[in-house]
Structure 1
Amino acid sequence: MMPSSALPQEIVLLVCQALAVQNDFSTLFRCSLVSRRVASIALEQLYSTQELSSISAGETVNTQAWARLWKSIIRSSIGKTAYPYCTYVRALYCGHFEELLDALWTKPENEHLRSFLINANDDTEQFFVAREGQLKRPTRKQSTQLAGIDFQAFTVKCGDFVTKRIREVADQTETAVALAHLEGNHIPVDVLPNWISRLPALTSLRLRDGSVLTAEAGRAIFESCPRFSELTVHYYRSSSADDDMASFLQNLRQNTLQRFELISLNDIGERTLTALNGHAESLRFLSLGSLSAQAMKSLNVLSDCTALEFLEIENALHERVDLKTYSAGYLKEVSAWVQSCQNLRGLRFSQVQDALLIIKEALNAPTLKLSILSLEGFGSQDQQDTSSAWAALGVQENLEDLTLGGQDRTPDGLVIHENPPLAESICRLHNLKCLNLNQAYVRMADLKQFVGALPNLTELRFGGEWMDDDVLESLGSLRYLNQLSVNSISIFTWEALREFAMKLDPVHQQGIVIDINNQLGAYKFGIGETTFLSNYFADTLKGSIEIEYYYDPGEHDSDTSSASD
């Protein structure tokens, strides 16, 4: 065997980079054990992509490996490791670290990992931050009793050491900072600008609590992060939220923000939306969730943002507003804005009462060629407007992903057979791969019509009328189907479901996932039948099947018996 020293450094780097691209963390780790020279390359690639591993994200039961990963990053921030692991990290997910702390301190079986993570013998004890009212690190007896730790303060302290160390090493070695993505549940308002100033390679920021985004944070990005382009905020509640977010956006470099995503509850309004116009030429992805009535009435100020490729608007459930009663011409202004986004490929409206009125003109625009369209929770309109909107849907022949659901998130909110233009338009969308009608009422005849017209479907979800074995025969003709969710009440027989499974293609439909969510309890399968299906899907198709029962007589009888006892 050729000694590792004879292998050119460039080849070792290429091999490790290829393994990193494939997220092959176990092989990268084994490479790090070959020699010190190979280790320096393998470990840099390993830590540069660690956020993609199931361990880093807490998606595995291997809590020990999760704790080891974070401990190595933390110890490297105080120079106590052979390699400066924290400087290799390109994405720092502080929220994942808080989840680890929660797993360690709320589960008694993880007590040994608490003492592993925080240990006086390796100088990690300095990171411990007790909850308010607890003056010092808990004793062993207190630890057993799940003594308190301030998860948030502990995380912030570790993050502060890590970001400081990253910048120090970069300055000392005259190398570039690698960390480009920063995520946290809550980074204090006075701390965030300092962290940002240490990270000149920062391109994206993801925060659970957006109230820390102020003019100071915006200025720090302006001064230190020339490539910053993405912001995601889960919630933003404060009396000054609209002013603060507007100030943050205005302090960024003009036309640099490419992605702005606001996921949940917030208090933004017209000022924030107006400030987004400062990035009208650069903004490609705009997702505005849970908008208040006041914000919904200000959507027309976004008219300059015409470079969008994806747009999502959600009206907060507790503040739904009928925009057509707001002012004359307002809906036309919003519709004209959507039409003017000639590069728009994805459009989603959720809980927007007047969504059909907005899209009926926009979908007919020859320059609008959508790949993704989602309309959920929209209100009813008069017959002419509704028919016009559904007829316009058929014009979007490039659609690959369509989700439709009526008001109140129930199938009765959108009854397919009561809207013939809708059914006709769906059948014209021959490029459709994903069709989600979970929140619509679909008859068996409708479903057969869609299946016959849309042979390229890979994902199908539907609710509505009772479904029997006939629909399985129809679904069997979808040769590319790899995800099926039956939300309507079903009365499938064991023989028909087995035949359907046996006809699935183990090659083209490998990994198929089927969820039957409301199989009538009177048609419950036996243990042997269920086991056969589960094993066949797992072993032959490398997929899965889950069957949930509606009104299971066995469970009902058990509950009745328990109550009588």
Structure 2
Amino acid sequence: MPVRHLPEEILILIFEELGRRRDFPTLFGCALSSVSFSEPALKIMYRINEQSPLITETDELENLRRRQPGNFDIKSAQQESQLRKWALLWRSIIRSSLSATYKPYCLYIRSLNLDNLKDLLQEGKFSGKIEQDFFAGELQDFHLRTELICTQPTKNRHKIRLVVDFMPILHAVGEAITKKTMLLEELRGPISKEFLPQWIRRLPRLQVLHLQQGHVLTAEAQNAIRENCPSFRSLELYAWTEAKADEHLAALLSTTSGWQNFELYSGSDIGRMSLTAMNHHASTLTSIKLMGLNDDGVRSLGCLKECTALQKLELEAARSFVQLEDLENDAFLKIVAWLNNCCDLKELALNNFYDGPAILAETLATRKFTLTSLSLNKYIASGDKAVAFHAAISEQLSLQRVYLNGDGEDTTNEELQVLVNALSRLSCLQVLDLNQMSDNFKDHHITTLALNLPSLETFYPSGSAITDSVFQALAGLKNLRDMQFCGVTHFTATGIADFIWTLDSTTNSGLTLGLWAVDADHMLSSDAEAFLQELISTRLNGRFWVTSCGEDSDFESESD
């Protein structure tokens, strides 16, 4: 049967499958191929537009400059091409809200990410012809600019130039789109309190709200959520620092139901009232992220005692001075009891907690939950509490990702051996980041881990005077894609080249190999470095970079 004669429901299933696979090139080709394919393909493309590489990989504008070899003019042209495609996507969505496009694309989208539009408007190359083309025609009323005073350091004078005034543009775009469509399920961006309530009232299907500041959730906005958004399930905030933040958030939590996710990204005054109010969502809340908790918030974490359906939990203390186990043991025991009741917990991260090792030592060993991801940052990696925590890691055999970032300066060989023995039992481990806390590692520690963790894909050990002898064991890691030596290394060019030649060109394809702190007496010559970069690129389609001790690196890893 010719494709053009397939029943419509079959075509829809095909396009939905292409959408699930994020196959944008094929969807775009279908949209261009025929009238009958155009609308269903475009619907899927715009419905998942926020997952397009144009949105999710906007950092490639910088990566193209930094990573790809070749002529500067070529790389600049590639950056500009990427930027134009990004701008064209947003232009088509905005124009459709004005009924000026082939199809009403804004009716297809489910997520309005004004943060991404802000990034576009603030992109350094968004100027000149690109800016003029973006705001041409129907969008000329959106072209709002403001004066920026620039100081020229070499001349004692000021220069005034016009730049894009992004905030009123974002509000104008949001106003136009929310007037046109009622189908948005997700809203993100720096939205002011003057616009937020009316936008929420226009969006009865709203489920996810991501805001820069919590104070824009005024009483009017909160009422709009309660009265108009029965499916609301997730609130993400960058910060909420007003005086009554704890009280206002608690009021919203206490008068709504069914939330599945709450995230707070930086310092706030959230404390006991809000944490207690989260128990109103205990049966549905599966993910909590609380960063920059003040001292009262840290002490009050036990108030979350009913939130035991959690699958993902990330907590960060603003200060590491709150000592619960020794000075406020009741609060410490409440936190431990709460975590031990979270039987569905899969991902757990604690950052900057003085009692982080003690809390984890008391919970991991009980095996009340089976973790796939564990992270502990900013802790003292030596001493009895750290040793107890490291030993308890071995009880979580389902772990696939472990991130330990602590102060390992005073760790002894015996303490490090406890950690290595525990980690060596985690045969499912795919990601292991031991930056800083393994500063006293020697060759045999890295070798032992490599021999016992065959599934490793990402490995970040530190160490002191690490030599070529580790490469034989590392070469056996058939899935290795990201290998960063964060400590001082004494490698030779021959040893590194032999390692690259030993790796599997298929399973190790795309490998990134980085040396963060090469000893000054073991620096590679510029010719050797160039040879190794060419070798890893040719053989593995990978990357190699090197930094000497004390030199700053601008490399950005996947974990960053």
- Normalised to the residue count of structure 1, the TM-score between the two structures is 0.85
- Out of 114, 122, 127, the position equivalent to 1:102 is 122
* Partners of 2:387 and 2:415 within 8 A in 1: no
What's the CA shift for 1:31? 2.3
Alignment of 1:19-418 (within 5 A): 19-57=18-56, 58-59=58-59, 60=61, 61=79, 62-103=82-123, 107=125, 110-119=127-136, 122-131=137-146, 146-167=161-182, 177=183, 179-184=184-189, 186-252=190-256, 254=257, 256-317=258-319, 320-379=321-380, 383=384, 385-407=385-407, 411-412=408-409, 417-418=414-415
In the alignment, residue 221 of structure 1 is paired with which amino acid? Answer: I
What's the CA shift for 1:297? 1.1
2:427, 2:143 → 1: CA distance?
A: 59
What's the CA shift for 1:124? 1.6
What's the CA shift for 1:88? 0.8
Compared CA separation, residues 419 and 509, structure 1 to 2 (3 A): closer
* Partners of 1:273 and 1:299 within 8 A in 2: yes
- Out of 434, 448, 454, the position equivalent to 1:437 is 434
* Partners of 2:147 and 2:160 within 8 A in 1: no
* Partners of 2:382 and 2:410 within 8 A in 1: no
1:497, 1:382 → 2: CA distance?
A: 35
1:141 aligned partner: none
- Out of 419, 423, 426, the position equivalent to 1:422 is 419
Task: Map Cα deviations across residues 141-179 of structure 1 (whole Å, 9 max, x no partner).
Answer: xxx974143211110110111011013xxxxxxxxx2x2
What's the CA shift for 1:528? 4.1
* Partners of 1:218 and 1:249 within 8 A in 2: no
**Which stretches in structure 1 are left out of the alignment for 5+ residues?**
135-143, 168-176, 553-565
2:419, 2:32 → 1: CA distance?
A: 61
Identity score, percent: 30
* Partners of 1:417 and 1:443 within 8 A in 2: no
Compared CA separation, residues 424 and 10, structure 1 to 2 (3 A): same
- Partner SS, residue 378 of structure 2: strand
1:47, 1:146 → 2: CA distance?
A: 36
* Partners of 1:534 and 1:544 within 8 A in 2: yes
Task: Map Cα deviations across residues 6-54 of structure 1 (whole Å, 9 max, x no partner).
Answer: 4543444334333323323233223222233322222112211221122
2:557 aligned partner: none
1:416, 1:50 → 2: CA distance?
A: 51
* Partners of 1:416 and 1:422 within 8 A in 2: no
* Partners of 1:292 and 1:315 within 8 A in 2: yes
Task: Map Cα deviations across residues 462-484 of structure 1 (whole Å, 9 max, x no partner).
Answer: 11211111112221222222221
Compared CA separation, residues 357 and 56, structure 1 to 2 (3 A): closer
What's the CA shift for 1:518? 1.5
* Partners of 2:239 and 2:268 within 8 A in 1: yes
- Normalised to the residue count of structure 2, the TM-score between the two structures is 0.86
Q: How many residues are matched?
A: 519
* Partners of 2:292 and 2:318 within 8 A in 1: yes
- Out of 390-399 and 74-83, give the one that drifted further: 390-399
In the TM superposition, structure 1's runs of 4+ consecutive aligned residues that sit over 6 Å from their partners are none
2:381, 2:462 → 1: CA distance?
A: 19
Task: Map Cα deviations across residues 357-386 of structure 1 (whole Å, 9 max, x no partner).
Answer: 212221121322222111121247863x44
1:431, 1:486 → 2: CA distance?
A: 22
1:521, 1:133 → 2: CA distance?
A: 45
Task: Map Cα deviations across residues 448-493 of structure 1 (whole Å, 9 max, x no partner).
Answer: 2222222222221111211111112221222222221101111211
What's the CA shift for 1:305? 0.8
What's the CA shift for 1:419? 4.7
- Out of 452-461 and 416-425, give the one that drifted further: 416-425
What's the CA shift for 1:444? 1.8
Compared CA separation, residues 526 and 382, structure 1 to 2 (3 A): closer
What's the CA shift for 1:311? 1.3
1:437, 1:242 → 2: CA distance?
A: 36
**Which stretches in structure 2 are left out of the alignment for 5+ residues?**
62-78, 150-158, 552-560
2:284, 2:422 → 1: CA distance?
A: 34
2:366, 2:550 → 1: CA distance?
A: 48
In the alignment, residue 134 of structure 2 is paired with which amino acid? Answer: L
What's the CA shift for 1:63? 1.5
1:309, 1:37 → 2: CA distance?
A: 43
What's the CA shift for 1:235? 1.9
- Partner SS, residue 489 of structure 2: coil
2:72 aligned partner: none
What's the CA shift for 1:352? 0.2
Compared CA separation, residues 132 and 544, structure 1 to 2 (3 A): closer
